[in-house]
Structure 1
């Protein structure tokens, strides 16, 4: 696959690690594989000086209050107070070390590019035009971020083995039939071979 996929320029690329949080990991069938592959991707990013972006969903009290009743996904979350900022379930998984250079995005909607974040602007200021996506779930943050990023003209790579969904069939259909029209769907092990060296 790598022979037909464009190479990555580390200086223009960001690795998005999305929603690797205890509450989300608990909802997917094989969280250990996705977590392990995400760490492999993180090691690749560190060794190639690729910008790392940690994304998590977490709500401050005012965020809960701002969720309208029309929002089918988040009204139950707001009513229950689930994923409150500062709670264990809303934290990044403890195995991830966040460095000073990393970008951390706290969101209150599904997409990492939702209007409640400044992720897009931060990346553009750095001249980043390509994203490598890993996260949970495939049908949630990965799908919505991919769609918005594609509309914003970012180049996109999805790490098939560093994503996961509560429904394995949703994961399969998205990675095999939906995502390839807008992104290069690859395995984490292909990253190094795709990386341009100086």
Structure 2
């Protein structure tokens, strides 16, 4: 699962995170998944203009207006755009599972393990990993492929996720894992 919006990479954005190395690592994971025929699911955040479908979450975080329909800040960050045929899950809340058909799509495809890259570790990654395990999936987080605006928050979130919810793996471990699945 890949979750990267332009808003986190544009220096003028209030959500700018300074995690270009994370984007680059995720691009390597994505290229490896594609090369080995691993199904890819992208997530994106999009709201009706004004956030009528965003509830308290939208009202609490003013910067979420960047994800109103039609805003270029909600576009996928290059080079992480979906390829033809790859699933795109549109969400309004941190978890890729909440209010979406992601669990059904994964079950229908016979997928039991979810390799995750995205932003932010303390928000969408964490919420999606918690919901993944609650739905019976094994969440695997690519350490180099996730990031947050503050390094201390990122590291604390990874520590907590590893202790309770997800498996943490390196970029090299994941590319080797994909190679083994394709064999």
- What TM-score bracket applies, with the shorter chain setting the length? 0.7 to 0.9
* Residues 1:153 and 2:136 are matched in the alignment: yes
- Give the alignment partner of residue 127 of structure 2, picking from 122, 135, 144: 144
Which residue in the other structure is 2:6 paired with? 22
Classify 1:78/1:192 alpha carbon distance in 2 versus 1 (closer, same or farther; 3 Å).
closer
Q: Distance in 2 between matches of 1:57 and 1:97?
A: 14
1:48: Cα distance to partner? 1.0
- Give the alignment partner of residue 35 of structure 1, picking from 23, 32, 44: 23
Name structure 2 gaps, 5 residues minimum.
Answer: none
Tell me how large the CA RMSD over aligned residues is.
Answer: 2.1
**Can you list the C-alpha shifts for 1:107-136, whole angstroms capped at 9, x where unaligned?**
111111111x21111111111111001100
Classify 1:175/1:80 alpha carbon distance in 2 versus 1 (closer, same or farther; 3 Å).
closer
Larger RCO (CA under 8 A, 6+ residues apart): 1
Q: How many residues align?
A: 177
Alignment of 1:36-115 (within 5 A): 36-61=24-49, 64-68=51-55, 71=56, 73-76=57-60, 81-115=65-99
Higher radius of gyration, 1 or 2: 1
For the 8 Å contact 1:138–1:165, the answer to whether it is kept is: yes
Q: TM-score, normalised by structure 2?
A: 0.87
Alignment of 1:165-184 (within 5 A): 165-184=148-167
Q: What SS does the aligned partner of 1:160 have?
A: strand
